[in-house]
Structure 1
Amino acid sequence: MWIAHANFAKGFRGGERQTQLLIEQLAQQGYKQKLLTRIDSELAQRCSHIKHLEIIPLKKPYIFHSSVVKGATLLHAHETKALQFAYFAHLLYNMPYIVTRRVDNPLKTNFLNKKMYAAAFKSVALSKAIENEVLRVSPEAKTAIIPSAFSDITVNEKVSAMIKERFKGKFLIGNVGALVDSHKGQSLLIEAAKGLEKNHPELHFILLGRGEDEEKFKEQAKGLKNITFEGFVDNVNDYISCFDLFLFPSRHEGLGSILLDVMQLNVPVIATDVGGIPDIIKSEYNGLLIPPASAEAIVNSIIDLYKHPEKRALLAAHAKETVKNYSPSAMAKRYIGLYGTVQKEA
C-alpha cells in the first residue's frame, strides 16, 4: 500500500499541522507516501525530513497534473482544492479517494460539492458539526468522524523560563490563532481585557498569531497595558506552557485542534460553545464553555477561574485525561483502519 496526500493550502495552519502529524505517524509505520503541494509550500518544507515520503510540488491548475497519483492505493485530500484534484483523478483513473474536512464553514449547495463528497470512499469530518454540514450538502456521502490530534512538539524549558520571567507576577491568559475576528473572535477578548484592566491589573492577555485583523485589533487595544500581541512564534507550546488560562472565543470552529495541545500541557480552557468545540470540552468537567459573542461571559468566566485555583487544577487534570484519546498515534490508527478498508474494497 502506498498513499498519496494532497494539500494545496497557502500557509501553515491547523489543517496543515494535522496533515504533517498524520504523514509522520504513517512513515513510522513504514508506509510509502507522496505529498502533493503547491509551489513554495511551507507544509512541504516541514515534511522534508520524513522518510519514505516523496514531495511533489505542482503548478496551477493542479488537476492538469492528476497523473502523478497513478499507481497509488488511494488519494487522501486534506482541503478543498485537494478534493477537487482527487475528484478529477477519480473520474480519469478510477482512483479511490478520501477527504478530510476540517472546518465547519457553510458549504455551497451546488452540484460539484454534492458529487465530490458522494464519490469519496469516505468523507471524514473532525466533529459532528462538520459531518452534519457535509451531509446537508451531500446526503449520499459516506461519512466518518476522526478528530484531530495534539502535537508532539516539546517545550523548550529555557525559553519557557524566559517568558515566565518576562511576565513575572502576572496571571497569563493566552490565545493562539489567526487574527481574524470573523472566525477567532479576538475582538471579544480585547473587550474583556478593557473590562478587567482597572480592577485586575495582574491579569495579562497574550495573543499569538498574525492575520488580516491585526492592525484593527491593535487599534482597539490602544492604551491597554494588560495585553501583548506576540505575533507568530516558532513553538507555541513554549508559550502555552506558561499560560495560567487559555481563552478561545471563536465565533465558529470545526474542532479547535489547538485546544488539544493546551489540554496536553495542563492549562485550563475557556472556550465558546460553537461548532466542534463541545466534542472536546465538557463544561465544568474539563473546561468551561461560554456562549459566543459575549465579552461579559468571558470576563465572568475568567474571574471565576482566577479566584478558584482548585477549580482550575481540577479542570486541567480532567482535560489531561481526556486528551489521551487524541494522540497522533490514535489518530493515525483510525486512518490506517480506514485505508485498509479502501484497499480491501478497491
Structure 2
Amino acid sequence: MGCVLQLISSLTVGGSERLLINFAASCTPGEDIPQVFVVINDFFHPDLAAELSATGHPVYFLKRPPGNRNPRVILSLLNIIRRHDIRIIHAHDSGAKHFAMLSKLYRPMSVGYTIHNTGLVNAWDRVKLRLHQRFVDWNIAISAAVERECEAVKLKRLFKVHNGIPLATFDRVARQRRFGSPLRLINVARIYPKQKGQDILIKAVSLCAARGLDIRCDFVGSPPAGDESTLLSLKAQAIAENVADRIRFLCGRTDVCRPLDEADIFVLPSRFEGFGLVLLEAMAVGLPVIAADVDGPAELLVDGSNGIKFKVGSAEDLADKIAALVAQPELAAKIARTAKDFVTEFDIANMRDQYFGIYGQMMKAS
C-alpha cells in the first residue's frame, strides 16, 4: 500500500507543529494508513520532539542548519522515502514543500500541501505559482477564507479541512469561570504582533486598568526562531503603558492546558488569521472567547452566541468588549457553554479521517 510522509521544516512551539503532533497521536501505528514523520531543520523543541517520537510512528530529525544547501539533506530524505516506500508527501510549510518538490524530481510521488494561513498564496509571484501548480498535486485549505484565496489562483485538487484538536485532553481541565479579582486574560499565539496583535491586547489591558478594572494578562507563546527584538519591544510597550506588573510572557510552554485552566477570558487579537486553532482549545476548556473579526475566527464565531468579536486593530473596542463581558457573568457563562457544544465537531479524529480519505483518493489517482 505504501506510506504517507508528513514533512515539516521545524518543530518549535506553534500551531502547525502542535497540529502535526496531535494528528500523529490520533493515528494508530499498524492499523491506519502508515505514517512517517520528518523534521527537516535543526530547530525543534526537545519536549515536542519527545512527544512526537512517543506516538510510535517512524520519526526522523534531519537537523539541517536553516539555509544550508548541503545535498546530504535531500539524499537523507530520499533514503527515508525509499526505505518506507513513500507514495505521498504531505508538506506543512513552504520549506517542507520545496523539499517535497525536489524529492518528486527523483521519485514519482503524490505531493500535497496544507495552506495554514490567509495571505500565503497571494504572496506567490508567477514563477512560484507555476512551480506549485506543476509539482503539487493537491492542496488542503484550513478554512473557507483560505479556500477562496486558493480558488482565486486556480489551485488544483483543493480540499477544505478544518483543523482539529484532541477534545478529550482539553475536556479534562474544563471548569466554571468565576471572574474573580484579578480578572485573568490569556492569549496563546506565536509572539509575532504583526499578525497576532499582542500589542493591541497590551493597549487594551492598559485601557481596562485605567477604568479601574483589576486585570492581568498572560501571553503564552514564543517569538520566531532568531527573533530577539520583538519580545523586548512588547515588554517596553507594557512599561510605557504602565501595565508591566499586569503582563506575563510565558515563553517556551508546550502545555497550554494549565494556563488556559487558570484564565477567565481568552483573547485573540490577530490582524489576520487563517483559522484560529487556539480558539477551539479555549472553547473546549470552557473559556469565553473574544476575537478580532478577521476571516478565520469569523468563520468560527457567531457574535454574542459562542464568542465575542471586536473591530480588527482596535484596542478601544477590545477593552469595551472585555469590560462588557465582565459586567455580564451570566452572558459569559452562556457563551462558554454554547462554545463548548460547538467545538465538539472539531475533534482531531474528524480531521484525521478526512486526511485519510484524501490520501486514499491520491493513492488511487497516482
TM-score normalised per structure 1? 0.89
- When residues 290 and 340 of structure 1 are mapped into structure 2, their CA distance, relative to the original with a 3 A threshold, is same
2:188 alignment counterpart? 176
1:228-250 C-alpha deviation (Å, 9 max, x unpaired): 33333342110111211111100
**What is the Cα deviation at residue 102 of structure 1?**
0.7
Measured after TM superposition, the shift of residue 92 of structure 1 is: 2.7
Q: Residues 11-67 of structure 1, C-alpha deviation per residue, up to 9 Å, x if partnerless?
A: 231101111111222235444222121254335433111224242526454445452
Closer/same/farther in 2, CA of residues 134 and 65 from structure 1, 3 Å limit: farther
Q: 1:148 aligns with which of 137, 153, 163?
A: 163
Tell me the equivalent position of 1:36. Answer: 38
Report the CA distance between 1:118 and its aligned residue: 5.4
Task: Tell me the percent identity.
Answer: 24
Farther-moved stretch of structure 1 (50-59 vs 85-94):
50-59
Of 80, 89, 92, which aligns to 1:75? 89
Q: Would you say the 8 A contact 1:130–1:254 is kept in 2?
A: yes
1:153/1:237 contact within 8 Å kept:
no
Cα distance 1:234–1:87, how it changes in 2: closer, same or farther (>3 A)? closer
Corresponding position of 1:20: 21
Tell me if 1:204 matches 2:198: no
1:111 equivalent to 2:127? Answer yes
Q: Determine whether 1:243 maps to 2:243.
A: no
Please report the TM-score for the alignment, with normalisation by the length of structure 2. 0.85
CA RMSD of superposed structures (Å): 2.6
* Superposition map of 1:212-227 within 5 A: 212=227, 213-222=230-239, 223-224=242-243, 225-227=245-247
Matches within 5 A, 1:93-112: 93-106=107-120, 107-112=123-128
Q: Distance in 2 between matches of 1:197 and 1:235?
A: 29
SS in 1 for 2:212: coil
Deviates more, 1:24-33 or 1:323-332: 24-33
Is the alpha carbon distance of 1:283 and 1:239 closer, same or farther for their aligned partners in structure 2, counting shifts above 3 Å? Answer: same
Structure 1 pair 140/330, CA: closer, same or farther in 2 (3 Å)? closer
Cα distance in 2, alignment partners of residues 280 and 333 from structure 1 = 21
Structure 1: gaps (5+ residues)? none
Residue 4 of structure 1 corresponds to 5
Higher alpha-carbon deviation: 58-67 or 176-185: 58-67
Question: Alignment partner for residue 51 of structure 2, among 46, 51, 60?
Answer: 46
Q: What amino acid is the match of 1:102?
A: H
Looking at structure 1, the residues matched to 20 and 253 of structure 2 have their Cα atoms a distance apart, in angstroms, of 20
Secondary structure, counterpart of 1:47 in structure 2? helix
Q: Does the CA-based 8 Å contact 1:120-1:142 persist in structure 2?
A: no
Amino acid at match of 2:36: K
1:133 and 2:145 equivalent? no
Conserved? CA contact 1:83–1:99, under 8 Å = yes
Count of residues in correspondence between the two structures: 340
> In structure 2, what is the equivalent of residue 316 of structure 1?
336
Task: Tell me how far 1:96 sits from its aligned partner.
Answer: 0.7
Q: SS of 2:53's equivalent?
A: coil
Contact 1:270 1:288 in 2 (8 A): yes
Cα pair distance change 1:117/1:130, threshold 3 Å: farther
By how many angstroms is 1:313 displaced? 1.2
- String of CA shifts for 1:106-133, please: whole Å, max 9, x gaps: 4222223333245433200111222233
The 3 A distance-change label for structure 1 pair 27 and 44 is: farther
Structure 1 residues 129 and 64: alpha-carbon distance in aligned structure 2, compared to 1, 3 A threshold: farther
Is the partner of 2:112 in helix, strand or coil? strand
